[in-house]
Amino acid sequence: MARGTAESRIISWQGNAVGLLDQTLLPREEKEILCDTLESLWEAIKSLRVRGAPAIGVAAAYGVVLAGELSRAEDPETFAEEVRKGCDYLATSRPTAVNLFWALDRMRAALEGSRGKPVSVQREALLAQARAIEAENNAVCEQLSAHGAKLLAEEARVITHCNAGGLACGNYYGTALGVILKAAESGKRVRVYVDETRPLLQGSRLTAYELLRAGVEATLICDNMAGHVMRTQGVDAVIFGADRIAANGDTANKIGSYSLAVLAKAHGAPLYVAAPISTIDFSLESGAQIPIEERAPAEVTGWQGHPSAPEGVAVYNPAFDVTPAEYITAIICEKGVCYPPFRESLGRLR
């Protein structure tokens, strides 16, 4: 999205609804939808109309504001209880992205901080917290991107997976894509191989879309071409984002990330994970504890209503996989670059 214009419309608070750029329609159509009920926002998160860990967090924060606007309670305690139920409901939309739960916890804390005060004051506290979460997210992404850009050479060939750009974060830079954009802004020549990222094609639909709009050289490849590209074209780095990082550095990201990490190690390419500190779940000792969302078989058996597999075939459709910390060269966050052992380097960020 062009800076200073359309990126502000990825997620917005409209006074009585949450405005979202419907990412399921990209790149064919840029259309804003308005979620004026918690059910419609829940559906938007679940169906990937809004997606990417940071963006889900911001959308959920405004969803809590919406819960407050929808409440007709005049008693402060009744109002607070209704908002808490709204938080609990939104938390059921997707299980893997920790930013969803981080943002909801922030909103619950804001509600608790205004406990017993008039309903109008509680509403103001919720809106102030949601706006703070959005502003912090924007600043974090730009800081993270600047730190990561320094890791790329003056000329760099990069493979990225899924979409970790502004669309995934509700701003311009994003995380993994932000590293590339910042590097390009500084005058570095970055050429990007974009994994199409099956089965929902976030790479070809969204990452390629963002890179082309930013004027960065991008070449789309199928996921199963990555190894061939590394061997024959040469790749200087692999960069992707994260939906949750365990205390030991194990990282959950879009399905296919683990395979890319194994290939990167086999070909001697550094693997960088770019994610805000809010993505680190210090309560989890390892990636084995990260819940992995499984999605509908229809995402694999066809595309946009057109079947591509025989009816009745069994389908396994995990949305994420976990890359063990041993495959990760560094984790880039807003405070800088963390290197192994990650339990120590990440631990210093707590």
Closest C-alpha among 251, 244, 249 to residue 346: 249
Using the structure block, give the residue that is written with the tokens 């969302």.
Answer: 293
pLDDT band for 5, please (50, 70, 90 cuts).
very low
Amino acid, res. 292: I
Give 80-116 pLDDT, tens digit per residue: 999 999 999 999 999 998 999 999 999 999 999 999 9
Give 38-87 pLDDT, tens digit per residue: 999 999 999 999 999 999 999 999 999 999 999 999 999 999 999 999 99
State percent of the chain over pLDDT 90.
Answer: 96
pLDDT band for 8, please (50, 70, 90 cuts).
very low
User: What secondary structure does DSSP assign to 186-212, as a single string?
Assistant: TT-EEEEEEE--TTTTHIIIIIHHHHH
Residues 6+ apart with CB under 8 A from 105: none
Catalytic residue numbers?
Answer: 243
Q: How far apart are CA 291 and CA 138, in angstroms?
A: 27
CB 208 within 8 A of CB 234: no
CA distances from 32 to 44, 100, 180, 271 (A): 12, 21, 27, 35
User: Is it the case that residue 341 has pLDDT exceeding 90?
Assistant: yes
User: Is it the case that residue 3 has pLDDT exceeding 60?
Assistant: no
Angle at 74 between CA 72 and CA 80, to 5 degrees: 80
Give 147-177 pLDDT, tens digit per residue: 999 999 999 999 999 999 999 999 999 999 9
Residue 187 C-alpha from the chain's centroid? 26
Residue 101 has phi, psi (to 5 degrees) of -75, -35
Helix (H, G, I), strand (E, B) or coil at 36: coil
Domains annotated for the chain, with CATH where assigned, are 6-142 (1.20.120.420), 150-347 (3.40.50.10470)
Amino acid, res. 104: L
Closest C-alpha among 166, 180, 187, 236 to residue 3: 166
| pLDDT of res. 305 | 85
User: What secondary structure does DSSP assign to 259-298, as a single string?
Assistant: HHHHHHHHTT--EEEE--GGGEETT-SSGGGS---B--TH
| pLDDT of res. 4 | 36
